[in-house]
Amino acid sequence: MTAYTPPTGKQLGLVIDLDTCVGCHACAVNCKEWNTGGHSAPLPDRDPYGADPTGVWFNRIHTFEAGEGATSRTVHFPKSCLHCAEPLCVEVCPTGASYKRVEDGIVLVNADTCIGCKLCSWACPYGAREFDDDDGVMKKCTLCVDKIYNETLPEADRVPACVSTCPASARHFGDLGDPDSAVSKLVADRGGYELMPELGYKPTNRYLPPRESKAKAGCTGAPAALETRIDPDALHPVLRWVDRILSR
């Protein structure tokens, strides 16, 4: 049924660090790479090298400027399905093709029963669902459900493709339903927040705010000026003599 059971236990999701994301789009590229051969494969990709490329991406990287003037910040902002605890996208689905898994809270689409009415994409405030014109069905982030439980992969690789690939380690994966998990602690430490909390979808994914900029060198812990690093006592006697002559 499209009626979902609100997750009580496990709720897998992502924590995205807006302080360290460098906006390289590597996560989006690896997402496309993995998922065009995964659970929702293939992902359409029309005219990829032409003037009007179009296709489905589960993850897109926006860049915002927050604030104005000298104190403004450039913030790279990756966005994919947030695997909401109260997903209206699932409730509106007339066929039951969209569902939220009870065991881990992942929101998925069954491509065999989806009629392609697009209503779920209207119901998602975050723009996490993209229609596949080739297959006539809706597609969305699967949280790499075919990777995170894949026992043929080494354990370290059983994380979503975006998390594996992020060169800045700006993406963290784990159980946000467990307050003691590493991701939950990270969210608590860094003041992680929900997107558009006013709409009440209770998204699982959290964003870590950019840290305060450090305007002065001293604040970063680096010395304010460079000092000589030569310890005369440790030098060879000849060099010590040269040092003494030059220091006069």
Partner 1 sequence: MHPAFSVIFFTTASGAGYGLLALLGFGNALGLVPAAGWFGFWSLGLALVLIAGGLIASTAHLGHPERAWRAFSQFRTSWLSREGVAAVSTFVPFAVFGIGWVFFAKTEGVWALPGLAAAVGGGITVFTTAMIYRSLKPIHQWHNAHVVPVYLALALATGALLLNALVHLWGHAQPAIGYLALAACALAAWLKHRYWRFIDTTKAVSTPETATGLGARGKVRLLESPHQVDNYLMREMGFRVARKHAFKLRRIALAALFAAPMTLTLLTVLAPVGAGTALLTILAALSAALGVGVERWLFFAEAKHTVTLYYGATDA
Residues that bind partner 1 (CB under 8 A): 1-3, 18, 23, 28, 52-54, 56-57, 60-68, 71-75, 77, 79, 88, 90-97, 113-119, 121-127, 130-133, 135-138, 193-201, 207, 209-210
Please select the residue that binds ligand SF4; options are 27, 138, 162, 208, rule is CB under 6 A. 138
Burial 163-196 (b: 16+ CB within 10 A, else e): bbbbeeebbbbbbbbeeebebbebbeebebebbe
What's the rounded Cα separation, in Å, for the pair 193 and 187?
8
Please select the residue that binds ligand SF4; options are 12, 16, 81, 108, rule is CB under 6 A. 81
| Residue 3 binding result from partner 1, ligand SF4, none, given CB thresholds of 5 to 8 Å by partner type | partner 1
Closest to partner 1 by CB, 118 vs 244, is 118
Q: Are 91 and 2 in contact (CB under 8 A)?
A: yes
| Residue 190 binding result from ligand SF4, partner 1, none, given CB thresholds of 5 to 8 Å by partner type | none
163 binds ligand SF4 (CB under 6 A): no
Closest to partner 1 by CB, 42 vs 210, is 210
89 binds ligand SF4 (CB under 6 A): yes
User: Where does this chain touch ligand SF4 (CB under 6 A) — which range of 7-15, 17-25, 92-100, 218-226?
Assistant: 92-100
| Residue 197 binding result from partner 1, ligand SF4, none, given CB thresholds of 5 to 8 Å by partner type | partner 1
Other CB atoms within a 10 A radius of the CB of residue 219 amount to 10
β partners of residue 15: 172, 206
β partners of residue 174: 13
| Residue 72 binding result from ligand SF4, partner 1, none, given CB thresholds of 5 to 8 Å by partner type | partner 1
Closest to ligand SF4 by CB, 93 vs 161, is 93
Closest to ligand SF4 by CB, 76 vs 140, is 140
β partners of residue 172: 15
128 binds ligand SF4 (CB under 6 A): yes
| Residue 63 binding result from ligand SF4, partner 1, none, given CB thresholds of 5 to 8 Å by partner type | partner 1
Identify the CA nearest to 10 among candidates 170, 163, 181: 181
Please report, as ranges, the residues that interact with ligand SF4 according to CB under 6 A: 81-84, 87-89, 92-95, 97-98, 107, 109, 114-120, 124, 126, 128-129, 138, 140, 201, 203
